[in-house]
Structure 1
Amino acid sequence: MLCCVNPDCPKPVNPDENNYCHSCRAELIPLLGGRYRPTQVLSDEGGFGRTYLAEDIHKLNECCVVKQFAPKLQGTGPLTKAIELFKQEASRLQELAEHRQIPTLLAYFEQNNYLFLVQQFIDGQNLLKEWQTRGSYSETEIRELLLDLLPVLKFIHVRGVIHRDIKPQNIIRRQSDGRLVLIDFGASKQLTATVQTKMGTVIGSHGYTALEQMQDGKAYPASDLFSLGATCFHLLTGVRPSQLWMQQGYGWVASWRQYLSSPGKNRVFLSVELGEVLDKLLQLDIQKRYQSADEVITDLTPRLSPSSSVPPTILTPTFAATRVNKGPVSSQPNNKLQSQLLLGSSILVFGLGGVWYFQTRPNPMREFSQPISPLIQPKKTVPENPFLPEPLNGHSSDVNSVAFSPDSTTLASASDDKTIKLWNLANKAEIRTLEGHSSWIWTVAFSPNSKALASGSADKTIKLWNLETGKLIRTLEGHTDGVSSVTFSPDGKTLASGSASQDKTIKLWNLQTGKLIRTLEGHTNGVPSVVFSPDGMTLASGSWDKTIKLWNLKTGKLIRALEGNPDSILSVAFAPDGLTLASGSKDMKIKLWNLKTGKLIHTLKGHNDKVNSVTFLSSASPNCVTLVSGSSDKTIKLWNPVTGKEIRTLKTGSGYIYAVAISPDGQTIAGGGSGENILKIWQMIQ
């Protein structure tokens, strides 16, 4: 199909063979700039131009976006000025496109008395469509959005550019990496405002546009920040600022919090800190508002997100589960990280979970050969529904990681509220709170002797805690981005840590000295999951780069990469025999891998959102194994890994599940995430 580029044409799409538009009778232009074939209208600027999806015939019909500016250029005066402004804006966009989260400028030219600008096509979904598909965002996802976009705003503001129209429709989550991309910059808006004859033309969108921009047509960095705050409000509450503006103008801004618990909607839980940030973003008085992106980042610091769009879940090894980058998001996420991330040790792995591979195992590889009997049965002392969760209340924000002590007496939970809580499983009472990290805590793991705990945070540090005294033993520093996964070696002498997107490395630490042993490099994105093999000879890592890597710990060399997953790996876990690996992914599926051959055994389908956590539980019998998964679809599922069939689903009530852990004695499942009850446990028996 071929699009008519008359901006007033009511039905611009034509068959390829037409020379003149079947609707407006204008002559069709097969190629713009001699190479760009317009095929579809993406948006309409109301007679002042349109945005088209086009094919670049010089690049094997690769998709691109063509922006048209109108009205037709004729005469001098304002229209001559418009041409000058167009060239200036095109040059500026070319400079801005140096940033990976801004579309690349491919060309700009004049043709048939129209101005055209060609930009990179971003394959992904804008946040309005994403919100319509998956519902309102969590607090953590809003923080990830802010920390992904604020550096982009800083980048453009430093170069003298104000976007002027930030809203969910103009933010795309790039499919390839989950990062947020800011689109639709001021070139068309600036030009339109220049050539329009009527006075008082406003660039922006009602409800998202700051007061000074709406009244006076003047925009500043603080104006973009107001729009970003309105965007966060929309995605957080599900209430469109444009609708509120039509009803009450700017009256909604002073009372925006009332929409956190609108009738007919789930209650939105918001921390004091993020609430204060949104308060300041949404100030009507520009003097009381944030003046720069850096100021907002400072108030969120050190809530460093692993790069938004990355997946929102990370796991830690040994009896622990975790999540970093919840989300998309996302994402990233994501999002979360999501996208969302960390998982514990041998029995359980979530989010960025772990992988164990027996490179030196003498026996030949075998898969599960007999039907696996469900290991989890209802606890007979529970009178009615044993699968209803029991909440553990104490955290004030999302729980990203949960881990059981190897002796099954204690549960640890790590949260966005910067605290770790220890819980007595016998009476469900809080034992103590560990404080010391300066940002979100993404992962926790118990030492094999249950005497120490390791935690990793967005503040880029790892902390080791004495569980008898609750005191800090030491802090390990060296990562250049948030620590998304930690795990102890089986002998308790070594700690492995994985980091988020700006770092992408795995580090091995000597726990006796606190010194770095070795850094493993090879992933091209964040590493949300690391775990030791049961014999301590191999480390497995799962990454947002869609691969799982197996490492020889003696040499630091790569043994094998498991590839072929279509989306980010959020969680990995070894089966008890050490011969099979499970992975959870942003693509909503669970995969079982043969570690000897590196081949895929099964793909388990049943979740309808990201699989943030997978873990195995087994009894003394090698053929009695259950696979457990937690998802952003608000469920935990139990699977028979031999048949690939679902055994049962545990309903969580509300909120995403970011981390899942099973106590070593098999009597308790813990789930951490978002929602009303952000930490839940289920009492089970073997």
Structure 2
Amino acid sequence: MTSAFQQQAFALDARYNAHRATNSPTFRTLYIRRRSQLLREEERSPEAWKQYLQTRSQLLQQRYGCPLDVNSNSNIPSNQSRGSISFIEFHAPVLSEKGKLVPTKQAEASRAMVGGNTIAENYAFVGVHYIFDQHTKPVTMVKFANNDRSRLCCSSEDGTLSICSVMSSPPCVLVMLKGHSKGVTCFDWSAGNDLIASSSEDTTIKLWSVVSGTCLRTILDPHNCALLCCLYQPVNNNLLVTGNKSGDVRIANVSTGLFMKNSCRVGGKILSLAFDPYGKNIWVGNDRGEIISAFCDIQGELRRTRRILVSSNCNITSLSHRAWISREARDPMILVNSSDDSLCLYKVIDREGGLFPRRKFHNKHQKYTIKSTFCPIMSFRQGACVVTGSEDGCIYFIDIEKPANRAIFNTLQGHSSPVLSVNFNYDESLLASSDLEGLVIIWKRAQPS
């Protein structure tokens, strides 16, 4: 129960964050990240949380002079009295007549607070910061540590992972994680960045210490099946969700090193996973062109809820969830890479993870495991950006608000083979990309004039 109250306190602050330090969007971003960390550290009784939320709400309204948009009481757990607390959720705004993702007319005043840079100016990645070549086979995935500008992890089909420092002088490989006997298919940082979990075709999950580089635990798939993806449960990092080659989604207990008895049978090969921020809904992509949503509670129970066909007999190689694309476009979205030469955007339409198609863009993708990402910083600027790799060796910056034939506003050309994975650091100053030949390129953003 305390976790639910913590989420409500964070949601309350998030609603008012746009009014803080209106001339400093970077400060607002750092504030809300630190606020989330502090709330997780607080220990209060439910009654104390209720009083805290009431007082905090009054102070914020007095400080910023704007009412709080609170939902009805339909979300209050049945064991609470209806007068105790109103639970807050982020709901999507009503779409305009033109059906745009970003309500641009209503956002003019908000954008004035953060300057008039266009989306192309804001994502003008033009120079190479550094190139890493420590891997001898394709680098399947790159990902920066949470809330960290510098540390980057890379996984490879050569069976190793590497942790790199990209901001040191010069950038360097801090440690190599060696232990898998076959290619590493996926990995995830823990919330505190002290652990990395990796999945492999050798049928194991390995848990690594980031500091020492040692393998702390090895978890074997119950059916000795190749593991193709893994993801920490966002609210409970003691749980790790995995997808295997046989179509089973399972949850492993990190502390015990054992898989839980329950599993979710999806079918096909599980190629990608994505959670919502609260760890309740998980989306699963397979090699049949399907996205399956499932409900996952904090104890690790899985229940399949919805299924959508993206395209017959294609691979869903990447799924990314974003609660808000920008501060003015609050529809929860799923970004999808599909091996029918497409990058798709779906809107989350209900509490069971149902999806509705919103945009589709052409992207060269037939054979390899191509990944994409949302840009991490929400802003009031015109447009909303995603970045994807491609089998033509390019990295594409796409404004998902524009029509497909005019959506690409920046292209990076530096790889000589298919680009498999892309990822930003948290402040968007650097972009990492990896390719089929094992190269990792760190791109730097041009400083605005």
Separation in 2 of the partners of 1:659 and 1:518? Answer: 33
Q: Which of 402, 406, 411 is the equivalent residue of 1:649?
A: 411
Identify the residue that residue 318 of structure 2 maps to in structure 1.
Answer: 571
**Deviation at residue 588 of structure 1 after TM alignment:** 0.9
User: How do residues 73-88 of structure 1 correspond to structure 2 at under 5 angstroms?
Assistant: none
Tell me if structure 2 keeps the 8 A contact 1:375–1:619: no
Tell me if structure 1 keeps the 8 A contact 2:344–2:361: yes
Separation in 2 of the partners of 1:614 and 1:425? Answer: 21
**Deviation at residue 435 of structure 1 after TM alignment:** 0.7
Identify the residue that residue 155 of structure 2 maps to in structure 1.
Answer: 414
Q: Which of 88, 103, 121 is the equivalent residue of 1:370?
A: 103
The alignment status of 1:399 with 2:139, answered yes or no, reads yes
Deviations 1:464-495 (A, max 9, x none): 01111111110111253221111112232321
Identify the residue that residue 680 of structure 1 maps to in structure 2.
Answer: 441
User: How do residues 91-110 of structure 1 correspond to structure 2 at under 5 angstroms?
Assistant: none
Label 1:528 to 1:646 Cα distance change in 2 as closer, same or farther (>3 A).
same
User: How do residues 119-130 of structure 1 correspond to structure 2 at under 5 angstroms?
Assistant: none
Q: Which of 161, 172, 187 is the equivalent residue of 1:429?
A: 172
**Deviation at residue 606 of structure 1 after TM alignment:** 4.4
Deviations 1:1-38 (A, max 9, x none): xxxxxxxxxxxxxxxxxxxxxxxxxxxxxxxxxxxxxx
Q: Which of 304, 308, 326 is the equivalent residue of 1:562?
A: 308
Structure 2: 5+ residue stretches without partners: 1-74, 76-87, 96-100, 105-117, 325-330
Separation in 1 of the partners of 2:232 and 2:180? Answer: 20
Amino acid at match of 2:145: S
Label 1:515 to 1:639 Cα distance change in 2 as closer, same or farther (>3 A).
same
Greater relative CO, 1 or 2 (CA 8 Å, sep 6+):
2
Identify the residue that residue 617 of structure 1 maps to in structure 2.
Answer: 375
User: How do residues 306-325 of structure 1 correspond to structure 2 at under 5 angstroms?
Assistant: none
The alignment status of 1:602 with 2:342, answered yes or no, reads no
Amino acid at match of 1:390: Y
The alignment status of 1:532 with 2:275, answered yes or no, reads yes
**Deviation at residue 390 of structure 1 after TM alignment:** 3.5
Identify the residue that residue 482 of structure 1 maps to in structure 2.
Answer: 226
**Deviation at residue 518 of structure 1 after TM alignment:** 5.0
Q: Which of 469, 472, 483 is the equivalent residue of 2:212?
A: 469
Structure 1: 5+ residue stretches without partners: 1-359, 380-385
Tell me if structure 2 keeps the 8 A contact 1:639–1:648: yes
Separation in 1 of the partners of 2:338 and 2:286? Answer: 10
Tell me if structure 2 keeps the 8 A contact 1:453–1:466: yes
Q: Which of 467, 491, 497 is the equivalent residue of 2:242?
A: 497
Larger Rg: 1
Tell me if structure 2 keeps the 8 A contact 1:415–1:442: yes
Deviations 1:540-581 (A, max 9, x none): 111111111111003522221122424221111113427111
Identify the residue that residue 287 of structure 1 maps to in structure 2.
Answer: none
**Deviation at residue 457 of structure 1 after TM alignment:** 0.7
Identify the residue that residue 420 of structure 2 maps to in structure 1.
Answer: 658
Tell me if structure 1 keeps the 8 A contact 2:249–2:266: no
The alignment status of 1:583 with 2:323, answered yes or no, reads no
**Deviation at residue 608 of structure 1 after TM alignment:** 6.2
Separation in 2 of the partners of 1:622 and 1:456? Answer: 37
Separation in 2 of the partners of 1:495 and 1:620? Answer: 27
Identify the residue that residue 83 of structure 2 maps to in structure 1.
Answer: none
Q: Secondary structure at the match of 1:604?
A: strand
Label 1:543 to 1:606 Cα distance change in 2 as closer, same or farther (>3 A).
closer
**Deviation at residue 526 of structure 1 after TM alignment:** 0.5
Tell me if structure 2 keeps the 8 A contact 1:505–1:521: yes
Separation in 2 of the partners of 1:436 and 1:453? Answer: 13
**Deviation at residue 528 of structure 1 after TM alignment:** 0.8
User: How do residues 41-440 of structure 1 correspond to structure 2 at under 5 angstroms?
Assistant: 362-366=89-93, 368-370=101-103, 373-374=119-120, 376-378=122-124, 386-388=126-128, 390-406=130-146, 407-427=148-168, 428-440=171-183
Separation in 2 of the partners of 1:514 and 1:622? Answer: 44
Q: Counting strand residues as a fraction of each chain, which structure ranks higher?
A: 2
Q: How many residues are treated as equivalent by the alignment?
A: 318
Q: Structure 2-normalised TM-score?
A: 0.66
Tell me if structure 1 keeps the 8 A contact 2:273–2:318: no
**Deviation at residue 363 of structure 1 after TM alignment:** 4.0
Amino acid at match of 1:680: I
